[in-house]
Amino acid sequence: MNSINAQGTRCADIEPFCAGEERLTFPNANFQNSTQISGELGPNYGCLDDQPYPAWFFLQIENEGDLRFRISQYQNINGSGAALDVDFVVWGPFERGDDYCSSTSLSANKIVDCSYLPDAVEFMSIPDAQANDIYVVVITNFEQVPGFISLEQTNSGQGSTDCSILDLDLGGSISVCDDDQYILDGSTDEAVTYEWFVYNEDTAQYEAIPNETGPTYTVTESGDYKLVIIDEIENKTEEDEVTVTFYDSPLIGELDKLSICKDGMETIDLKGASLDFIAPNGNSSNYQVFYYESSEDIQNSEPIISPQSYTFEEGKTIYAQVRDKTSGCFSESRSFELTTFNFPEYNLPEELIFCVDFNNNVLGSVSAGEDLGDGYFYEWFDGDELISTEPIISLNELPAQSEIAVRISHPESGCELEFSTNAVSVSRPEILSIVISGSDFGDGYTVTASPENIIGEDFAEFEYRLGNGNWQESNIFTKVPPGSHIITVREINGCGETTSESFFLVGYPRFFSPNSDGYNDTWNLITDSFITIKKLYIFDRYGKLIRELNPNQGKGWDGTYNGKPLPSDDYWFKVEFIDEKTGDHREYMSNFTLMR
């Protein structure tokens, strides 16, 4: 059976105690047996600025005198373990039957002693106590963890407390977790008769429970109960009330690992996992999570005292339980592992290219970023302005600032990284100029293409092609054949293409085949208006002049000499010409082949 007994956490549930001749030890009020996290409103708490987990008691004076008590609080019942800071305030004197708990009773002028020292051992004094006087004491648990309070009188013989008030004590409030019954036990050696009552909400009265006249009563329903006992020997009647409430224990969520952001961090906040564990229960404010280093610590109710700054150890197993603040009931335990979290690889380009026209108008949408999957959150900034929380951003216009940044967070591990990129405008070239060097009468033509008038020239990248040929990174074309040509350049980020003006390269064919098939039947220079041919001679391989041609007239040489076809062979030519662009006079000789 799992039940929680509160140690008089409110003044209305006040419990009796006495010092007797021996030390009296009892559980403190803590997160496991109390839902009263702080002191109730009304009383004047004197020196106690805070009243964490209060436990209310009263004592009755048996013999008058000056009483002095030692109050201590330790982790274990035998006074061993961690020393727990204990504080107190005592009010009095009162008479039996007074309303101890009213704000009038627990006022500043009724405070007899008070201490807020950061110690596990305190001393409480009640001077000039009179027989039958009642004093009210509240003891607080500054550390807020389970432990035990001990009380003993240090000046016995100079006044005493009356222990007969302890004869009947059912407890103030009892929470029963995951069970359908709870046994109340009011057994006392001096009792002659017992009578059990249950509170009726409709009549606002306690009503006797039929046939329940024994020292114990098995409760099966939540409610307020009362026991009246009669001691005929001492001719007195005592009664005690108790509230019993049945609860279902809370559920606990799933979590396999809790990650720290990177190596070298010394502590981890275990509370970062709390929402995952509380999630199946609904409103998180009604629950709290406790963390333990071992299953034995769970059994001994020894949670980690400072989970928000727990020393990180890779691979360490931690245990958790969810507690319902209302009932004090705990869930089953769940274990998880401490790990180091590694962010997936993520990069933004150094420059984010925006393709624009020559008026700097954006030509198309620009995207950046990457979706890393579940558990990540994104914030995109244009300077200081938040512009998106999507993993991938799409921009249709130039940003206001030159830098676009993204902040990526992973709440489970607490990791957060930032990346940035520079927004850059890039256009296609407005002009592609051509420079020609060499000739077909030597090592061949070299053509160099140069893009000009470019927005974002330092960030633009290009590739080129001659005619319908393959694209290449180099803007230089070698051994370009004679004839008419164009060169096209394209910006590789997709910002457009530009084509040069057509240009013509003068040259000569390397062979011809005069077989009257209408294809390569004659041989002549390949030229245009920029070249003026002065003389053109054709020789056989022995240097004999075969023909003098005018390249600007006729179709060229037909492969005959004096009207007779010449055989297949290599023939030579000599050309004298003027380059009209430069005015240079040049001569050139080379060979070609006649094929039949």
Q: How does DSSP assign 453-504, residue by residue?
A: S-TTTTT--EEEEETTS--BS-SEEEEEPSEEE-EEEEETTTTEEEEPPPEE
pLDDT for 476-508, tens place per residue? 999 998 888 999 999 999 999 999 998 888 788
Angstrom distance (rounded) from CA 367 to CA 365: 7
Q: Which two tokens stand for residue 253?
A: 């969520």
Cis peptide before 93 (omega within 30 of 0): yes
What amino acid is encoded at 219 in this protein? Answer: V
What is the distance between the alpha carbons of residues 584 and 30, in angstroms, rounded to a whole number? Answer: 107
pLDDT at 462: 97
What confidence score (pLDDT) does residue 13 get?
78
Contact in structure between 561 and 546 (CB atoms under 8 Å)? yes
pLDDT over 70 at 404, yes or no = yes
Banded pLDDT at 9 (limits 50, 70, 90)? confident
**403 with 385: CB under 8 angstroms?**
no
Higher pLDDT, 412 or 185: 185
Which amino acid is residue 144, in one-letter code?
Answer: Q
> First vs last Cα of the chain: how many Å apart?
114
| Cβ within 8 Å of residue 352, ≥6 positions away | 366, 368, 404, 421, 422, 423, 424
Give me the mean pLDDT over the 509-536 stretch.
84
Q: Is residue 293 exposed (0-12), middle (13-18) or buried (19+ Cβ within 10 Å)?
A: middle
Q: Which residue is it, tokens 């075969």? A: 546
Backbone angles phi, psi at 468, to 5 degrees: -105, 20
Tokens 């003891």 belong to 139
| Average pLDDT value for residue range 89-102 | 86
In the predicted structure, residue 235 carries a pLDDT above the cut 70 = no
Sequence-distant (6+) residues with CB within 8 A of 363 are 355, 356, 357, 495, 496
Strand partners for 549: 536
Cα separation, 542 vs 522, whole angstroms: 21
CB 186 within 8 A of CB 229: yes
Q: For residues 196 and 182, give the distance between their C-alpha atoms in angstroms, rounded to a whole number.
A: 14
Residue 533 contacts residue 527 (beta carbons within 8 Å) = yes
| Alpha-carbon torsion (318, 323, 329, 334), positive or negative | negative
d(CA 91, CA 48): 13
- Rg of the chain's alpha carbons, rounded to an integer? 50
* pLDDT for the residue numbered 530: 67
DSSP state letter for 278:
H
What are the C-alpha distances in Å from 531 to residues 184, 224, 500, 522? 122, 119, 21, 20
State residue 1's pLDDT score. 40
Nearest CA to 73 among 91, 95, 50, 55?
A: 55
The pLDDT of residue 359 = 93
Most confident of 171-185, 263-277, 389-403: 389-403
Sign of the CA dihedral running 470, 473, 478, 483 = positive
pLDDT for residue 164 is more than 70? no
pLDDT attached to residue 191: 63
Of residues 281, 314, 267, the one with CA closest to residue 414? 267
pLDDT of residue 317: 95
Highest-scoring range by mean pLDDT, 28-42, 341-355, 567-581 = 341-355
Q: Across residues 403-421, what is the average pLDDT?
A: 89
- Spell out the long-range contacts of 262-269 with Cβ–Cβ below 8 A and sequence spacing 24 or more: 262/340, 262/341, 262/415, 263/340, 265/312, 266/311, 266/312, 267/309, 267/310, 267/311, 267/312, 268/310, 268/312, 268/338, 269/307, 269/308, 269/309, 269/310, 269/414
pTM of the entire predicted model: 0.49
Report whether pLDDT(6) > 60.
no
Given a cut of 50, whether residue 5 has pLDDT beyond it is no
Q: How far is CA 121 from CA 48, 73, 332, in A?
A: 16, 7, 35
How open is the CA angle 232-238-243, to the nearest 5 degrees? 145
Please list, in sequence order, all residues whose beta carbon lies within 8 angstroms of the beta carbon of residue 180, skipping any fewer than 6 positions away.
220, 246
Mean pLDDT of 537-562: 90
Tokens of 44: 């004047």
Give the per-residue pLDDT at 52: 92
Mean pLDDT of the chain: 87
Q: Which pair of tokens denotes residue 331?
A: 């869930």
Q: Which of 441, 480, 437 is nearest to 577 (CA)?
A: 441
Instruction: Write the pLDDT tens digit of every residue in 445-460.
Output: 899 999 999 999 999 9
Residue of 231, 192, 234 lying closest to 213 (CA atoms):
192
* 437 contacts: CB under 8 Å, gap ≥ 6: 445, 446, 447, 448
- What's the rounded Cα separation, in Å, for the pair 9 and 36? 6
Whether the predicted pLDDT of 509 surpasses 70: yes
Q: What's the rounded mean pLDDT across residues 554-583? A: 87
Phi and psi torsions of 503, nearest 5°: -135, 155
